[in-house]
Amino acid sequence: MRRKAQTTHDAYIDYYFHNHSNFGFITPNISGYTQFHVDAAMSSEAAKRLGVGTTVVDSVSELSIESLDLFFEGIGDGRLGIEAAEDEARFVDRDNSVSFLCSAETIVP
């Protein structure tokens, strides 16, 4: 996710960690919630040294779910999603943030 232009990275991370994280605790039918706080300077340096591009994001939220159907069944009437979106409007640039689904494959135990 990306922060709003008028929000500093530190203020964004503080709000994300201390306030918005509550949605991770109350969302039904998830088996895990992880926040990744992106270090832009280290990411840029690593990308430069690896010879790859980079993008500007402030965080990644990982919700672990068994299935998409079970996830949407848990949030049911949509109120939780509306509340989360209203909270994100305080600090997230939703127009320039993305969402994606992944499957995890363990390569090395």
Q: pLDDT tens for residues 19-77?
A: 999 999 999 999 999 999 999 999 999 999 999 998 889 999 999 998 999 988 888 88
Average pLDDT over residues 6-29: 95
Q: How confident is the model at residue 100 (pLDDT cuts 50, 70, 90)?
A: confident
CA distance 101 to 109: 22
CA distance 8 to 73: 35
Indicate yes or no: pTM above 0.95: no
**3-class DSSP assignment, residue 93:** coil
Is the CB of residue 1 less than 8 Å from the CB of residue 58?
A: yes
Place of tokens 């088996």: 31
CA distance 30 to 65: 5
Nearest CA among 24, 94, 34 for reference residue 60: 34
97 pLDDT higher than 90: yes
Domain ranges of the chain: 9-96
CA distance 37 to 92: 14
Helix spans in the chain (H): 9-15, 22-26, 40-50, 68-75, 79-88
Topology annotation, domain 9-96: Alpha-Beta Plaits (3.30.70)
7/54: higher pLDDT: 7
